[in-house]
C-alpha cells in the first residue's frame, strides 16, 4: 500500500434510470389500489342482500372509477395514466369507507336485533309458564316493558313486552280475584261438609260468574288498544303502516279467540254449578271423610265423575286455545 495515497473510497452507486424511477412510482399506488378494491369487493359480497356473482361484483367495482376517470379526462392534465391511477385509488378509498360505514351499521343493527329477541324470549318464557298453569301466578315475575335494545328494534321489543305484560297482569288479577272469593276451595271436602245447604258454594259460583264479563271486556279492550300502541312507536311510517294493517287483519280472529276463551270459562263454571246441585239434591247420600267425597250410590258417583270429565275436557281445550293465542299474539323473534 502506498503510504502517500489517501483512503480508498467505495465507488458510488449509479443513479436509477428514468424508467426505473417511473416503475417505482407506479408500484405503490398500484398495490394500494389492488388492496383497496379487493377489500371493497369482499365487503360488497358480504353486504349484498342476495348472493352476487363475481362478474356482478366486478361490474359494481369498475363502473364508478371508470365514470370518474372519464369525467376527469375532460381536462388534459388528468389524462396522464399515473394521475388516473391515483383517481382510481381515491375513488376506491371513498367506496371502501362508505361500505365500511354500512357494514358497521349492519353489525350494530344485528346486535340490537339480538338484544330485542333476547328480551322477547324472556317474556315468552314467562307467558309459557303462565299458560302451563304449573306455578301460582304470584310466583311468576312481572314483565318489564323497558327494552334492552335501542332504535327501531327497541321500539318493537317495547311493544311486544307491553302486550305480554298486560296479558300476564290480567291473568294474575283474575286468578287473585277467584282466590279471594274461594273458588279454588269450592270442592274441598272439609269446606263442603261445613257448608250447610251449600249456600256458600252457590255464593262462590255467583261471585265468580260476575267476574267474567269484566275480564272479557278487559281482553277486548286490550285488542282495541293495539293500534294506539303501534302509533306511539318511534318507527318509520312504512313499518308502522304494515303493523297496523296486520293488526286490523288479525283482529276478527283474535276477538273470536278471546270470546271463545271466556265462553269456555263460563261453561266450566256451569259444570261446577251442576256438580254443586248434584251434591245439594243428594245430601243424605254422600259424606266428606279422609279428605275426599264418598258417595253411597254408584249412580251419583258416576254423574259426579261425568261432570269432572267434562271440566277436564274444557280445561284441555282452554290450554290448547291459550297456546294458539300465545303463538299468534307474540313473535318468537324479530326478523
Distance CA 18, CA 47 (A): 44
Q: What is the C-alpha separation between 271 and 312, in angstroms, rounded?
A: 10
Strand, coil or helix: 80:
coil
Percentage helix, strand, coil for the chain under 3-state DSSP, each rounded to 5 = 80, 0, 20
Position 10 pLDDT exceeds 50 = no
Q: How far apart are CA 238 and CA 278, in angstroms?
A: 60
> Do 87 and 74 touch, CB atoms closer than 8 A?
no
Measure Cα distances from 117 to 110, 169, 189 in Å: 10, 22, 47
Rounded Cα gap, residues 153 and 109, in angstroms: 8
Arithmetic mean of pLDDT over the chain: 79
More confident residue, 249 or 323: 249
Torsion angle, CA of 163/166/170/173, rounded to 10 degrees?
160
The answer to whether 329 and 159 are in contact (CB under 8 A) is no
Supply φ then ψ for residue 213, to 5 degrees.
-60, -40
Burial classification of residue 186, based on how many CB atoms lie within 10 Å of its CB (0-12 exposed, 13-18 middle, 19 or more buried): buried
Interval 209-262: pLDDT, tens: 999 999 999 999 999 999 999 999 998 899 899 989 988 999 999 999 999 999
What does the pLDDT look like over 68-79, one tens digit per residue? 454 445 445 544
Task: Give the model confidence (pLDDT) of 119-165 as tens digits.
Answer: 999 998 888 888 777 667 678 899 999 999 998 899 999 999 999 99
Q: What is the DSSP letter of 52?
A: -
Whether this prediction's pTM lies above 0.85 is answered by no
Q: DSSP alpha helices (H): ranges in 2-80?
A: 18-47, 54-72
Amino acid at each position: 500500500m502506498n503510504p502517500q495515497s489517501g483512503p480508498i473510497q467505495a465507488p458510488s452507486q449509479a443513479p436509477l434510470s428514468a424508467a426505473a424511477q417511473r416503475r417505482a412510482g407506479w408500484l405503490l399506488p398500484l398495490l394500494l389500489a389492488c388492496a383497496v378494491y379487493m377489500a371493497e369487493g369482499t365487503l360488497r359480497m358480504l353486504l349484498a342482500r342476495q348472493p352476487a356473482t363475481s362478474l356482478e361484483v366486478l361490474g359494481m367495482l369498475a363502473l364508478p372509477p371508470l365514470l370518474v376517470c372519464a369525467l376527469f379526462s375532460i381536462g388534459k392534465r388528468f389524462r396522464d395514466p399515473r394521475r388516473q391511477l391515483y383517481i382510481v385509488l381515491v375513488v376506491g378509498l371513498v367506496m371502501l369507507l362508505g361500505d365500511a360505514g354500512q357494514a358497521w351499521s349492519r353489525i350494530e343493527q344485528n346486535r340490537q336485533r339480538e338484544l330485542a329477541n333476547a328480551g322477547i324470549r324472556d317474556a315468552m318464557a314467562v307467558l309459557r309458564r303462565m299458560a302451563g298453569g304449573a306455578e301460582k301466578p304470584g310466583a311468576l315475575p312481572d314483565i318489564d316493558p323497558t327494552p334492552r335494545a335501542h332504535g327501531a328494534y327497541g321500539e318493537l321489543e317495547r311493544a311486544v313486552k307491553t302486550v305480554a305484560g298486560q296479558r300476564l297482569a290480567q291473568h294474575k288479577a283474575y286468578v287473585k280475584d277467584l282466590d279471594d272469593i274461594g273458588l279454588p276451595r269450592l270442592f274441598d271436602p272439609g269446606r263442603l261438609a261445613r257448608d250447610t245447604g251449600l249456600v256458600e258454594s252457590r255464593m262462590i259460583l255467583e261471585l265468580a260468574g260476575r267476574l267474567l264479563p269484566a275480564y272479557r271486556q278487559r281482553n277486548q279492550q286490550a285488542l282495541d288498544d293495539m293500534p294506539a300502541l303501534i302509533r306511539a312507536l318511534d318507527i318509520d311510517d312504512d313499518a308502522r303502516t304494515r303493523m297496523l294493517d296486520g293488526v286490523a287483519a288479525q283482529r276478527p280472529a283474535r276477538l273470536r279467540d278471546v270470546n271463545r276463551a271466556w265462553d269456555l270459562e263460563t261453561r266450566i263454571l256451569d259444570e261446577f254449578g251442576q256438580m254443586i246441585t248434584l251434591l245439594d239434591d243428594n245430601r243424605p247420600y254422600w259424606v266428606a271423610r279422609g279428605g275426599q267425597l264418598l258417595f253411597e250410590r254408584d249412580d251419583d258417583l258416576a254423574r259426579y265423575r261425568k261432570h269432572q270429565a267434562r271440566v277436564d275436557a274444557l280445561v284441555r281445550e282452554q290450554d290448547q286455545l291459550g297456546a294458539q293465542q300465545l303463538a299468534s299474539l307474540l313473535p318468537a323473534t324479530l326478523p
